[in-house]
Amino acid sequence: MRILQIDKKDWSAGLEQSRKDYTLIGPVKEGNNVSKFRELAADEEPDFSITTTTMSPKSVVFPQSEVMFTFTTDSGSPDCNIMQAPETNYSPRAVIGIRPFDALAMNIVKMNFDTPEYRDPYWCDAYEACTFVGLAVTDPESCDFSTSTGTGPFDRQGLDVLLVDSGDSFLAEVLTDKGEAWMNSAGFDREADTDAEKVITAMRADAEKKIASTVKFANIDKKETLDLYNEEYWESISFPCLNCGTCTYACPTCWCFDIQDETAHKKGRRMKNWDSCMFPNFTIHTTGHNPRDTKLMRVRQRFMHKLKYHQSKYGKGIMCVGCGRCVTSCPVNIDIREVCRQMNS
């Protein structure tokens, strides 16, 4: 691993230079105090003042709505009812300023979309087009509990480059060939001073120390599924829930989607839209029977999936990276840290 140094005065020019090879994506503020990751306009730079964007960067590879196929229902057409691949663009894209917890979330979501049995081409092609230029969290938000979820403010997992803001410059850990390629494209090639590694280690320790919020989940893995399932606390946990999709949409690891055909004037398209286990429609059968027809069942499912089933299935911890988005965005303050505590106790 190489550590390079980027003077902040050279940052804009480097970004600009990399645009010849990459589409740039980064965090931006929009609307009323909200922020998200999206393609940066020609004169736009990623806003590094945002620590945790309102919406996670999962949309970079898993858009809220995506066309899977197009088709015609015109019986006079030779292509009638034949699915056609939509126009796509998987040219290189650099995701600048993704935070370590969100990069780990990409790895977690990958476990669902890229399996030995099946490879989701939409997600995987978009993912492979990405170079993740991460930004270490030097000032964690109070709902950040990422140090207890297998990541942390300076974690390198899932990243191609890790930038560390060291005042007048960024120290850049170049972690992969993809990262090397983006740094080359941007013209960032100055080796950092020999003490850079020490500086980063010290900053990392400092940032990790600032995270006061933690969760424990080892006992959840040991407990019987049905014992957890039948606990009384689901009643009080689920009581305030509105069954909106906020937590699932803000979450970087929630991967569920719905497939819808939209047809008008004999032209159609098959859409892949985000879906949410909080919605009654999520599980309704064509018979009208709904196996999860109460909000208690739906709330329980979300937490059991994240904190129990995921551990049991993959043996790689929980399906949560500790970003804190669901905690801060839930309209009724259902706090996954508190749910985890109850399940683990």
Partner 1 sequence: MQTYIEKIREIAARLLKEETVEMVIGFQEGTIPMISPPMSVRTVEDVEQLTWSSHCCINLANYLTDTKGKVAVFAKGCDCRSIVNHIAEGKVQREDVVIIGVPCHGMMERHTIISLFGEEIEEVVEEDDGTVTVRGKGREEKYQRSDLMRQNCRVCVHRNPVLYDELVGDLVEVPADIRRHEEVEKIEALGTDERWEFFEDLIATCIRCYACRDSCPTCYCPTCFVDEAQPQWVGKGDEEPDVMTFHILRAFHTAGRCTDCGACVSSCPMGIDMRAFTKKLEKDCLDLWDWEAGQTADERPALETFQPSDPEDNFK
Residue type, 185: S
Instruction: Quickly list DSSP for 2-25.
Output: EEEEEEHHHHHHHHHHHTTT-EEE
Distance separating the N- and C-terminal Cα atoms of the chain: 41
Q: Rule CB under 8 A: is residue 281 a binding residue for partner 1?
A: yes
Task: Count Cβ atoms within 10 A of the Cβ of residue 224 and give its class: 0-12 exposed, 13-18 middle, 19 or more buried.
Answer: exposed
Q: Smallest gap, in angstroms, from Cβ of residue 112 to partner 1?
A: 21
Pick 6 or 278: Cβ nearer partner 1: 278
Among residues 128, 236, 312, 313, which is the contact residue for partner 1, using CB under 8 A?
236
Q: Rule CB under 8 A: is residue 88 a binding residue for partner 1?
A: no
Q: Pattern of binders to partner 1 over 47-76, x per CB under 8 A?
A: ----x--xx-------xxx-----------
How far is 110 from 130, CA to CA, in rounded Å? 13
Three-state DSSP class for residue 309? helix
Strands 2-7 and 161-165 turn out to be unpaired
- Contact between 210 and 139 (Cβ < 8 Å): yes
Three-state DSSP class for residue 119? strand
Among residues 7, 12, 13, 34, which is the contact residue for partner 1, using CB under 8 A?
34
Q: Rule CB under 8 A: is residue 331 a binding residue for partner 1?
A: yes
Pick 54 or 176: Cβ nearer partner 1: 54
Among residues 320, 321, 327, 343, which is the contact residue for partner 1, using CB under 8 A?
327
**Residue closest to 147 by CA, chosen among 208, 106, 238:** 208
Among residues 7, 30, 189, 191, which is the contact residue for partner 1, using CB under 8 A?
30
Residues that bind partner 1 (CB under 8 A): 30-34, 51, 54-55, 63-65, 139, 141-143, 236, 239-240, 242-246, 249-250, 258, 260, 262, 271, 273, 276, 279-281, 327-329, 331-335, 337-338
